[in-house]
Amino acid sequence: MEKLVYRAIPGPKSAEFIAKSRQCEPPCSADQTPIVWDHGQGVWVWDVDGNPYIDFTSGVLVSNLGHNHPGLVGAIQKQAPRMMNCYSFPTPERVSAAYRLAQKLPGNLDQVFMLSTGADATEAALRIARRYSGKQEILAFYGGFHGRTYGAMGVAGSMNTRRNFGVPVPGGIMAPYAYCYRCFYGKKYPDCDMFCLKALDRVVESSSSGDMGAVIVEPYQGTAGFVFPPEGWFKGLETWARQRNLLLIVDEVQASFGRTGKMFAVEWEDVHPQLLCLGKGMGCGIPASAVCGESGVLKCMKPGELSSTWGGNPLASAAVLAVLDAMEKEKLPENSRVMGEYLKARFLEMKARYPFIGDVRGKGLVIGIEFVDPADQYTPSQEITRKVVMGCAEHGVLLGKLGLYGNVIRIAPPLIINQAELDAALAVFDGVFKSLAN
């Protein structure tokens, strides 16, 4: 294992590339730690100055197998000389990937339409839901994120996604998500008896024209700060939707492929959506996504009404097959669950010692740590969050920050990580937290 030592950030080579990037690329990408990645292996990445880091981002929850997994690299190398694009002509790779994936899907989901990006998948799901139901309105949630395309923007629950882009596609109706640490209604769980779930009828009655056909929801809200609803909320939402004859669309673009400790996050509460959106870890670095559904729902789309230039291309399909192989052979969802329980417990111990840690939440290897002003333990602190991200990077652990208030760090290492690697990273966290406390 590489040694984690202090390094000045950015190094000279990183600084040179960053300066060049500012000349030739627009400043619209997400703000990142100022280093330039060079290569990766397993849970490690190296910058262009030769410094190693433990990657606690997984490239925004993409590299579930780690970087340059030999099975994935081998599958790509084998497929690339044979064929890389075929538009919508079926290939053995695409059919095999769709079939294998369909065999693993929960509930009554039995068909897979392969695409390239997470936004592709949510856009397709929204179109299918409106066609199938014959209705235009879709219930979504404050804090939700479903992509940056225009249709997805219409069900975005954050103004950061919508601001200054004009009027989104109409029909999105917003309800409060179960963000218990910062409850929209000012209540406390469990005394609230899940008031936010019971209040959905009031939201619909006050906002809907009576033309609602579906609900779209994330099992946990990623961009909002890894916000996990309390146990039972997700199943309760499914029951609420079925009682009102609403299609349930679950956006698992980042939550699937073992990230939460199960292959699909809906399995934790035995939730059965009619449409399921997948992406990110589906290709582990090769763009691959899918909208999966019940055949009785998907048949509402006529031939040619959904298509994708790159969706299910042979290279992506070969990658998906390799990912499925690794998930099974290496039992990665199980490793995610076990390592995640260990990691969360250690962070909860730190929370008891450091008053600027307001909340620790998560499941599997997706954990959010929310930082606050230690004086009141509730006011969001972007400054502490920034110092944690930079301090950890300077000592060899890469993080991302997110959240509705920019005060949450994202803990999401590759699912292959072991306890020794976690302990090395945890020592860095503890050292940075200790320096901030002093």
Q: Which of 10-19, 259-268, 386-395 has the lowest average pLDDT?
A: 10-19
Q: Is 436 exposed, middle or buried (0-12, 13-18, 19+ CB in 10 A)?
A: middle
Taking only the tens place, the pLDDT of each residue in 303-354 is 989 989 999 999 999 999 999 999 999 999 999 999 999 999 999 999 999 9
Reported as a single tens digit per residue, the pLDDT across 254-290 is: 999 999 999 999 999 999 999 999 999 999 999 999 9
Least confident interval from 27-31, 45-49, 308-312 = 27-31
* Closest to 380 measured CA to CA, from 409, 352, 407: 407
All structural domains of the chain: 12-61+331-437 (3.90.1150.10), 71-329 (3.40.640.10)
Q: With beta carbons less than 8 A apart as the criterion, state whether 271 and 234 touch.
A: yes
Pairing of strands 212-217, 275-278: unpaired
Q: Average pLDDT in the 163-178 region?
A: 85
**Alpha-carbon gap, residue 271 to 253, rounded angstroms:** 16
CA angle 124, 129, 135 (to 5 degrees): 135
Please report the pLDDT score of residue 328 as a whole number.
98
Lay out the sheet containing 137-141: strands in order across. Answer: 111-115, 289-293, 275-278, 247-252, 212-217, 137-141, 172-175
* Choice among 37-46, 143-152, 221-230 with the minimum mean pLDDT: 143-152
Q: Is the pTM of this model over 0.75?
A: yes
Adjacent-strand bridge partners of 112: 292
Residues in Cβ contact with 157 at an 8 Å cutoff, skipping those fewer than 6 apart: 140, 141, 142, 143, 144, 145, 174, 177, 221, 224
Over residues 406-427, the pLDDT tens digits come to: 999 999 999 999 999 999 999 9
CB-CB contact of 266 with 304 (8 Å)? no
